Structure 1
């Protein structure tokens, strides 16, 4: 939604940002749809449907070049603009090509459902906003909204109209781009690879009961189109159940619409008055249990259509789905968390359906696609809408006939150290995926005759060297699988410490702090403090703490920015990729006093010829200061003294303390000289000083809770008793009070502060928090602040904020936490 294009590479398991559009991300807009050109392998064209932030009232379909795993923003070729209201709802955004090279685009009705009591929005009153009348869009043959378009993009830009759309070119009061009309929100659709049939999920209105004089309750639909057609909205829903022509000015019900000859008499209509006959859906279901399709259950609904599976369309791989699924349509529901397969008759009418993987809970399935090997990829949104959900993810489903190999996990408490070196290994997570068969374990430690069959063995490596440790698991039927880990013996990692004279987590306004950094190394002996690289960087608001994450090795600010910008997609530290490796760049420019400014200009403006013919595009969207820190990291690879460091002891003035989201990153690092044939090891110690008012949204971890970001707000929703937030490396010295900014809804509970784990030592807890906890003198709506005291403690470590309640929490009424203020 926020404009980032991400690439997942199966070989590495790494996801990187490979492009970012400047979009309007509110309501249901943003970056909404993507499709590869059918000839992508040759032309590298990618089509994106998005809401340009620079345009007030349109969404755009454009073509871009996607070369060397990067989206070239400068290559944009505009295909089609969709004029809209951009005031509320139903943007659609599905984008797919058929086998003939025609591009389909699904567009919602751009109408608000809230002013029509969740019946059909057909308010024609002249003093009302136009977006309360879907007759101007979905019911309008001269409007592209509320439709699925079918066009053929032209190489030079723009498009042509293929034969067979709903309205032939030149038909008065129509748009020839329209293939399907009468949609509310056709969010996900697919095209049958064999016959061109179009399947889509229609997200229906929220009405829960039929009402005489207004019309039917709401239904979601799965539709199939074997050719162009009109599918009823805003005059019909479900199995062509008819709404009434309702006069919002007089509250009169005038007549019920006729699906055989629907009529659009709205003054907001610029198209035909008599519409084509309404086509019925393939499947339809309300909030309550469906009489026609009871297997679909009941509750919230958000219908989406996946592909029709043809086994022969995919490689003859071991993982493709079996012939049992041949010609079956996959459908799924975002709210009900299920996937069904649907069998059709020869006339493409509904026959039967069955639950797919019924014992699997799909957490808001958002999209699905079969890979070329016949495996099924499913993108899960996670628990809450418009939230940065930690339970979202990309999953691959494969078919495995008969007995499966065990799943092997190997880990160690440490993987590098001086000889003799004792390591505790673990097989935790290793399992037989079939039933509960036991697996036999076999460890090989990389030394002749050194093995074990224990579950979690301990092994001592006496001599220096690099050892490849192998864990093999074998099930009762003889199938086996292995996993490896590398242990380096002969060089102890250095130890680095920062003696910081102030609080190690927070700044309390402008102050000057004494500091000393030191390092020790077993092999290098006494360390000259001048060899320790010590930096303090201030990062302004807007730096994404969540993206930064927690890595096994703490990275420098510059390397973190390289990762964030996706630079390592084209440049390795030591390995050449699309562009040169960073070590080679550092070696080339290590003696050049102007290297930093030269390289900053190179990154921002692009260039070619230094490292070959490959052109590096400009990256003017990157902040120049951040690029400078990237260059500090790169130049420091070959010449550590090039990094602008601070002395190993002194005083530092904290003078940037106003920004609630800005923070100081304090880092000390030392790289040893290596020993016994083992390469050098770098150790970095880090402190992060932040404003005392901390956003709950920036938590380092959470469970049973979700990050929510509706409109411009950012907060956390606690969804069950025992939900928690984790903040790492919190120093509670000098802290006497914590003030919570909350919106409790209808919940009753309290916040506990615990050390080290969700059930660790109880350091403090609030009183019971409800909407009645609101102070009499404070705001009486929205967020309010509640303080509670914390006993004097020198605790410094991971801090858990646990929500405890004895009452159930619903998805519609959660305990919401915006900020935590740590007060002296």
Structure 2
């Protein structure tokens, strides 16, 4: 489960694709335990069924990288156009018909979560056309990673701000950058992750509300409260300096009244009266970790907040409660507890990060801030319990999975509106909650005092909910982050309008093209699709954007001149309802192609290890690629999002991410290396950005985090790592995972239990019946809660990236449960013995790059101590066994060289005793025919004779 601000990695982009579906309200279902499997644990239900009434239509307005970028926040204008932000500083506007334009772009500092965040519409917009943006302005701040330790001056070099500014949106829909009026700056510790907040809303009195994150690094607190204030430690590891500080604007909900010139006053009723020592009067509510999405009910003034919590998998008496997240309902100013308390005032423990000793629990009724970095009051207001806290399946209506609360709006029915798409009156006063990780929207009925009366499913067929708002038409507008993008745009990112279809359904149109950029003349083949739930006989029309038109569902068109065009597909039903979709076509410029050759997709990895990388960029219009403009990131992925941990520039180098110290080791975590390059433009057109990513897999993985499965069920178990197992396995069932590249892996270890017959666990690649690489017998363990470890050696593993299948084999009935599995290198560390019982040796014991590798009498020195790693490297003296200059010819020197992740340092042990370099397909070979001390080792065509036989350490 993941509670960090959801982010995630660029991927090569296709065209903007529009899709929509007729939706129906969903209701939860239950699943019974498998017959004959009593005592197995609690089975997890993961499916929902749909009921038919009422009917809503989810209308796509914008989709894909060109239309929404990396979508973060939205606001609906009076004319039903939608402003939406992208982290890179781009503000877009999508009109009611689904045409998207760039309103403007701010120059932003863009590291981890920083960039352009929130957007808000001034209550008097019709007269003043004022909007508000919350963003990270570029300052004289280093772009790299801030240090974890150092002097106060070292840390101050990375201090910056996130800024709320007022702008004018001109009548033509463009942002007047010269109109900026700075309203308020919020401190930021730059170069380190995480928690920005950044949502903006207004109450009926015109007061502006701004949510801010605690700006605290969570990756060194084991998933509990980050309160490390040791001398010399980066203050960014202590949330008491921000969220728990009455004199700091971070980790708060701010409430102010902004004037036309950007100045502001503080309304009555905030948490601290103006003039109170060591406080900021702008604070309305405090004690938040990352109140990423917030809304204000105009009728009551109540503020609704979704606050992200940390990731501890379970409670720890010495640290505090397990991870949980919150929906909060704020009817008056208050303190909501972080970093002292969470949930229903579950208290954390005052833990000393220097000594590793635990003190007493914090007093939620009277929390005290004694941090060395605190500049505010010591005695804080009492912590308020959360309105709806949840973790795991603690709220049954919320289901299970990644925990990522996105507070949406409260619906208010407008009887005077003649809108045909406004939500029904019976929804008046209901709160619409979103969930990024679990991918749902819930309609929550509540009493006047906020008592939750009922939690209802609501139709949603998008993916990861990022932001929501009701428009003046009474329809719900939803920004969808999409999938497959960590800190970047992706093809599933979208903006939707959900309408109540009481007067008939609008055709849902979808448009695509075989390609959307290139040199003139550019021939494009289009495809249109349309559905309409209550009409037949749709008609179709195309406007190609260059003055020409077309018909049908699959027209082709050639663009003769350079330009940026919008091809529009329109579907019309017999009742006169129309739906349209757009495709953006750029003629004259071609999107760069970005390839990541190192590391390989699916490679095994341990967090904290350096990550060598190599990127190749090609672009038809750019005469030369400027590698200084290639941005490469390492992000920690968790479930369906990620956090940037390290960033650098260049086509080749090494990323140095920190070790992850927040996430439960049993969480669904992985590494992501992404690269992007923006070209110089071409044919007079705007620059285009190419992106790509690869995934790195941790050696150990929980079985329940499979990609796909056949026949199995999940069971909650107290004795399982991560609390769950894959169970009810029967002969032929399987689970699969992707991507994986198993270079260097020699063993598969598995943690299993069986109160049944037992069976065999097999590893296949490509398909459940693909090549078999290992199998191990699983005997009955005496009960479903009794676990044991089994392992099998692996053979004939594929060289490339693949999909792995764990297949369960045995007799009739339930076989065994699988808790987790690990890919390990069976070689370990020690001598590598070769021909004539000589050992692989670094000549002279010298660790200089280029030192010759030889065979020599075994002497147990450091020059003969080799470690066989799961990343395919073989290491001694802190460096790697390397093929000189990545050569492939017979006789190429084998040397010691600093580890760089290139194919020249990749080795694979074969079942015939040889050790192969997959890049060349050739073998590690002791040259000549006498093989005495000092015999050189080189690369040679494989023949499996004595001088190519190597015994790796066990």
The TM-score bracket by the shorter chain reads: 0.5 to 0.7
3-state SS of paired residue (1:152): strand
Q: Distance in 2 between matches of 1:269 and 1:556?
A: 53
The CA deviation string for residues 251-288 of structure 1, in whole angstroms up to 9 with x for no partner, is 332211222222222232222222111111111112x2
1:743 to 1:60, Cα distance in 2 relative to 1, 3 A: closer
Q: CA deviation at 1:340?
A: 0.7
Deviations 1:86-139 (A, max 9, x none): 232111111112111111111111111122211111123223221222111111
TM-score, normalisation: structure 2 = 0.49
| Counterpart in the other structure of 1:280 | 385
Higher percent of residues as strand:
2
| Aligned twin of 2:587 | 554
Q: Which residue, out of 378, 394, 406, partners 2:495?
A: 394
CA RMSD of aligned residues (A): 4.7
CA contact (8 A) 1:119 1:207 kept: yes
What's 1:748 paired with? 740
Aligned residue number for residue 432 of structure 2: 330
Partner of 1:418: none
Give the Cα–Cα distance (whole angstroms) in 2 for the partners of residues 157 and 786 of structure 1: 59
In the TM superposition, residue 240 of structure 1 has moved relative to its aligned partner by 1.0
Change over 3 Å in CA distance of 1:261–1:52 after alignment to 2: same
Contact 2:873 / 2:905 at 8 angstroms: preserved in 1?
no
In the alignment, the residues of structure 2 paired with residue 707 and residue 197 of structure 1 have an alpha-carbon distance, to the nearest angstrom, of 31
Counterparts of 2:106 and 2:531, CA distance in 1: 43
Counterpart Cα distance in 1 of 2:539 and 2:194: 58
Shift of the 320–266 alpha-carbon distance from structure 1 to 2, 3 Å rule, reads same
CA shift at 1:52, angstroms? 1.2
2:339 is aligned with 1:234: yes
Paired with 1:472 and 1:43, the residues of 2 have a C-alpha distance of: 37
Q: Displacement of 1:352 after TM fit?
A: 1.7
**Cα pair 1:405 1:479 within 8 Å, conserved:** no
Counterpart position of 2:68: none
Sort the Cα spacing of 1:117 and 1:483 in 2 relative to 1 into closer, same or farther, 3 A. closer
Q: Does 1:304 align with 2:406?
A: yes
Deviation string, structure 1 residues 283-319 (Cα, Å, up to 9, x no partner): 1112x211xx112122211111111001117832111
Q: Distance in 1 between matches of 2:174 and 2:390?
A: 42
2:295 pairs with 1:190: yes
- Three-state SS of the structure 2 residue aligned to 1:47 is strand
| 1:485-543 Cα deviation digits (max 9, x unpaired) | 9xxxxxxxxxxxxxxxxxxxxxxxxxxxxxxxxxxxxxxxxxxxxxxxxxxxxxxxxxx
Number of the residue aligned with 1:42: 127
Q: How does 1:342-741 map to 2 (within 5 A)?
A: 342-357=444-459, 360-383=460-483, 384-401=485-502, 403-404=504-505, 406-407=507-508, 429-433=529-533, 439-440=536-537, 479=575, 554-555=587-588, 663-665=619-621, 711-712=646-647
- What SS is found at the alignment partner of 1:324? helix
Q: What residue ranges of structure 1 are gaps of 5+ in the alignment?
A: 414-424, 446-453, 459-469, 486-548, 561-658, 666-687, 698-704, 726-739, 752-765, 789-824
The structural deviation recorded for 1:405 is 5.3
CA contact (8 A) 2:292 2:406 kept: yes
Residue deviations 1:746-771, cap 9 Å, x none? 643599xxxxxxxxxxxxxx943486
Spell out, residue by residue over 1:153-176, the C-alpha distance to the aligned partner (whole angstroms, 9 max, x if none): 133332111111001111122111
Quote the offset at 1:18 in angstroms.
Answer: 1.8
Query: Deviations 1:447-497 (Å, cap 9, x if unpaired)?
Result: xxxxxxx99899xxxxxxxxxxx99876xxx75657899xxxxxxxxxxxx
Contact persistence 1:407–1:433 (CA under 8 A)? no
Q: Partners in 1 of 2:588 and 2:343 — Cα distance?
A: 55
Deviations 1:383-435 (A, max 9, x none): 1331321110111111102653555789999xxxxxxxxxxx9996243325x
Aligned to 1:489: none
Matched, 1:784 2:816: no
Whether 2:109 is the aligned partner of 1:24: answer yes
2:228 and 2:576 map into 1 onto residues whose CA distance is: 66
Name which of 156, 159, 167 aligns with 1:64: 167
8 Å Cα contact 2:211/2:291 also seen in 1: yes
Q: In the alignment, what sits opposite 1:263?
A: 368
Q: Provide the C-alpha distance between the structure 1 equivalents of 2:434 and 2:463, rounded to a whole number of angstroms.
A: 11
1:132 paired with 2:237, answer yes
Does structure 1 residue 161 correspond to structure 2 residue 266?
yes
- Contact kept? 1:180, 1:231, Cα under 8 Å: yes
TM-aligned CA distance change 1:774 to 1:149, over 3 Å: same
For the residue of structure 2 that corresponds to 1:35, the secondary structure is strand
> Is the CA contact 2:511–2:583 (under 8 Å) kept in the aligned structure 1?
no
| Distance in 2 of aligned mates of 1:213 and 1:377 | 44
Contact 2:115 2:136 in 1 (8 A): yes
More helix per residue: 1
1:82 paired residue among 183, 186, 205 = 186
Question: 1:118·1:206 contact (CA, 8 Å) conserved in 2?
Answer: yes
Quote the Cα distance in structure 2 between the aligned partners of 1:443 and 1:125: 67
After alignment, is 210-219 or 268-277 more displaced? 268-277
Verify: 1:210 aligned to 2:310, yes or no. Answer: no
Counterpart contact for 1:188–1:201, Cα < 8 Å: yes
CA contact (8 A) 1:333 1:339 kept: yes
* Contact 2:481-2:493 within 8 A present in 1 as well: yes
Distance 1:162 1:323 in 2: 33
Shift of residue 65, structure 1, vs aligned partner: 2.2
> Using a 3 Å threshold, how does the CA distance of structure 1 residues 479 and 232 change in structure 2: closer, same or farther?
same
Match of 1:98 among 196, 200, 203: 203
Q: Secondary structure, in 3 states, of the residue corresponding to 2:189? A: coil
Q: Do the aligned residues in 1 keep the contact of 2:540 with 2:572 (CA within 8 Å)?
A: no
> Alignment partner of 1:118: what SS?
coil
- Identify unmatched segments of 5+ residues in structure 2: 1-85, 142-159, 515-524, 543-550, 556-568, 592-614, 633-639, 652-668, 676-691, 699-738, 744-797, 803-869, 875-880, 884-896, 907-954
1:239 Cα offset (Å) = 1.2
Worse overlay, 122-131 or 91-100: 122-131
For the residues of structure 1 that align with 2:370 and 2:641, how far apart are their CA atoms?
46
Q: Secondary structure at the match of 2:500?
A: coil
Matches of 1:428 and 1:480 in 2, distance apart? Answer: 19
- Report the counterpart of residue 938 of structure 2 in structure 1: none
TM-score by length of 1: 0.57
- Correspondence for 2:678: none
**Compared with structure 1, are the counterparts of its residues 711 and 98 closer, same or farther at alpha carbon in structure 2 (3 Å cutoff)?**
farther
